[in-house]
Structure 1
Amino acid sequence: MPHIVMSTILDAPTSAVWEVLRDFNGHDRWHPAVATSTIERAQPSDKIGCVRRFKLKDGAELREQLLALSDLEQTFSYCLLDTPIPMFNYVAHVRLLPVTDGDRTFWHWESRFTTRLEDAQSITQMVAEQIYQAGFEAIRAHLKMAA
């Protein structure tokens, strides 16, 4: 079972980063891979159990469900419901922690999933680079533009 753990430090306070990340339907405004996103059944984007349906810029469509969200702990968890990629049982967790040296943010993003043995390495690399690392870089740029 692949287990991806990535983290970064952002030069912004956790409150600013959390304001962007806590919107479960907002990743189309900052993640370079996401073209459009909507929450099904017009539910609020912070309602546990809500499902976001989004299209990637390459045309692929995915659905993810919000499993947990804590403003106090600045964490959320979600799972993948539908994807054209052969990955199954995908569950991810995001957590922000303050870095008091310079009022910065430590962003931890991890996931576990299952896939065919022959696909494990390529899918793990794709998620790590095109989703997580690209997301880190995109939030960094988004926060600079907002400042």
Structure 2
Amino acid sequence: MNTHLRNAAAAGLLMAMAGLGRAEGAISFSRDITIDRSPATVWKYVGDFNATDLWHPSVRNSTLKGNGTRPGAIRTLKLVSDGEMVEKLLAYDAAKTRYTYTTLKSPFPIKNCVSTLSVSPTADGKTLLTWSASFDAVDVDEDIATEWVGIAFDGGLGKVATHFEKAP
């Protein structure tokens, strides 16, 4: 798949994990990667709620209303596909290196999406970056909805891994 098509698909799939409500959905999904860097270094790269555009290939830019470390902050993601997602921060814990948010607006048929991005140390001094979500599929098969979320997560996690592979 060419890069433009992959980025467009990932943008659409990132939007697919969106929901209109705040309740957790019935479908649970998680992806993780191990990165050969310290948790503090990885958190510095992915821990800013308003910096998804730095590490997700499907996000063109991100704007924030409110404080990005306080529940209630709202980020608007402009996607490379010209779509838009609006997400609300539910919890932010820099000490535990994780944040949780819900998607408020998206054109895709998934609702009640609650996602968590977390960074944790591994026994060998590396970092485990985990992105998890729960959501409900709307008018699509659960397998299709889960595939969309998987592609969106893989796009972001893949770019993070590539960033640290290239970094000195």
Fold match by TM threshold 0.5: yes
Deviations, residues 90-111 of structure 1 (Å, cap 9, x unaligned): 001122210131x210122211
Contiguous gaps of at least 5 residues in structure 1: none
- 1:53 matched to 2:76? The reply is yes
How is 1:2-17 mapped onto 2 (pairs within 5 angstroms)?
2-17=27-42
| Percent identity for Structure 1 against Structure 2 | 27
* Larger RCO (CA under 8 A, 6+ residues apart): 2
Q: Which residue of the partner structure matches residue 87 of structure 2?
A: 64
Contact 2:109 2:139 (C-alpha < 8 Å) held by counterparts: no
Q: List aligned pairs for 1:86-97, cutoff 5 A.
A: 86-97=109-120
- Structure 1 CA distance for aligned equivalents of residues 101 and 112 of structure 2: 11
Q: TM-score with structure 1 length normalisation?
A: 0.89
SS of the residue 1:118 aligns to: coil
* TM norm structure 2: 0.79
- Partner secondary structure for residue 19 of structure 1: helix
Determine whether 1:123 maps to 2:145.
yes
Which residue is 1:22 aligned to?
47
C-alpha distance in 1 between matches for 2:105 and 2:129: 26
**Aligned mates of 1:145, 1:51 — CA distance in 2:** 31
CA distance in 2, matches of 1:34, 1:118: 24
Are 2:129 and 1:107 aligned? Answer: yes
Aligned residue pairs total 143
Q: Is the 8 A contact 2:42 2:127 kept in 1?
A: yes
CA distance in 2, matches of 1:88, 1:14: 31
Cα RMSD (Å): 1.5
Residue 134, structure 1, aligned to residue 159, structure 2: no
8 Å Cα contact 1:74/1:97 also seen in 2 = yes
Alpha-carbon distance, 1:44 to partner = 2.8
* 2:89 maps to amino acid: L
